[in-house]
Amino acid sequence: MDHLTHRPRRLRRDGVRSLVSEVDLSASDLIAPVFVDATTDDRQPIPSMPGHERVPVDEAVARVEEIRETGVEAVIVFGIPESKDARGSRAWAEDGVVQRAVRTITDETDAYVITDVCMCEYTDHGHCGVVEDEAADDPTLTVENDETLDLLSKTAVSHAEAGADMVAPSSMTDGMVGAIREGLDGAGYSDVPIMSYAAKYESEFYGPFRDAADGAPAFGDRRHYQMDPANAREAMREVELDVEQGADVLMVKPALPYLDVVSAVRREFDHPVAAYNVSGEYAMLHAAAEKGWLDLEAVAHESLLSIKRAGADLILTYFAEDVADRL
């Protein structure tokens, strides 16, 4: 076999294998979601997301401190309000659930605090903005785009006023980044960056999250504003628009089924790229592990490594604590 001059296995021996590894994970790559619930006084386990809980506002600091102990530096806060209405007015309330939680987290911890900016947890219909008058019966676009922009801007500003380090609009409303950037700058928060859910697909992988955040639509679906899973080129147009409007970080959601999109965004744009390893991705690995079909620790690490390899600089994941604790 003298002709075998190229032997890739030479670099797979113990000792050298780790030296030539192209990608690795660190705790600083990971962002941990935190669910804060204004309707409860006790921690509430989320059945479809093993190991995760909704926590009351007065437990938000303790929850974030648990995350920080694993080495994870950043959290993204989602809120479940005490009441809902058609416009989602608790989303921007000074005494809203996210605003109260963020004040205490930023005052009492050194975590980097990101807030999700959307309306679905706050509207009584579960959609991500103001809906058309006949949306429940015969929707054409479901959410009134331009009317929703002002509400998103007010919500983002209220989060910044509470102390959020970064805001993350997730509604897939046309013009949301520009409206929020204008609102933040006008309120004196020009240094608060925007992580846009720039390419967010209408996905069935969100199911457990909707249980966790109590944000499932009361009617219809989100096909009129979230992207068609069949489309990759459209994602590039969506991302480019957000870049033009001032997005600082570009997110793809979900992650694992859309690694081609993550990779394409990484190649085309010189911005930090985030990917959201969503609740369904987390839950399906847990379900398989409970059956004894997969090693949960190994597949969780491999999944996150694949997202990083595809080009993500930041990974929002429900595995953040478990993986970081073992790195």
Active site residue 253: yes
Catalytic residue among 154, 200, 291, 308: 200
Q: Which tens digit of pLDDT belongs to each residue from 238-292? A: 999 999 999 999 999 999 999 999 999 999 999 999 999 999 999 999 999 999 9
Annotated active-site residue in 84, 154, 253, 308: 253
206 is in an annotated binding site: no
222 labeled part of a ligand binding site? yes
When pLDDT is cut at 50, 70 and 90, the band that residue 1 belongs to is low
* Residues 258, 238: Cα–Cα separation, whole Å: 15
Residue 120 counted as an annotated binding residue:
yes
**Residue 200 annotated to the active site:** yes
Provide the residue ranges of all domains of the chain, joining segments of one domain with +.
23-325
Per-residue pLDDT tens digits for 159-181: 999 999 999 999 889 999 999 99
Structure tokens at 186: 């006008």
**How far, rounded to the nearest angstrom, does the alpha carbon of residue 31 sit from its chain's CA centroid?**
8
7 known ligand binder:
no
Q: What is the pTM of this model?
A: 0.93
Report the pLDDT averaged over residues 294-305: 98
Is 90 exceeded by the pLDDT of residue 200? Answer: yes
3-state secondary structure (DSSP) of residue 306: helix
Residue whose C-alpha is closest to residue 282's, from 50, 6, 16, 79? 50
43 is annotated as contributing to ligand binding: no
- Per-residue pLDDT of 73-87, as tens digits, reads 999 999 999 999 888
Residues 209/226, Cβ–Cβ less than 8 Å: no
Average pLDDT, integer, range 133-144: 74
Residue 256 structure tokens: 């694992």
Spatial distance between the Cα atoms of 39 and 19, rounded to a whole number of angstroms: 50
* Domain made up of 23-325: CATH architecture: Alpha-Beta Barrel (3.20)
Asked whether the predicted pLDDT for residue 217 surpasses 70, the reply is: no
With b for 16 or more beta-carbon neighbours within 10 A and e for fewer, the 62-71 pattern comes to: ebbeebbebb
- Is 210 annotated in a binding site? The answer is yes
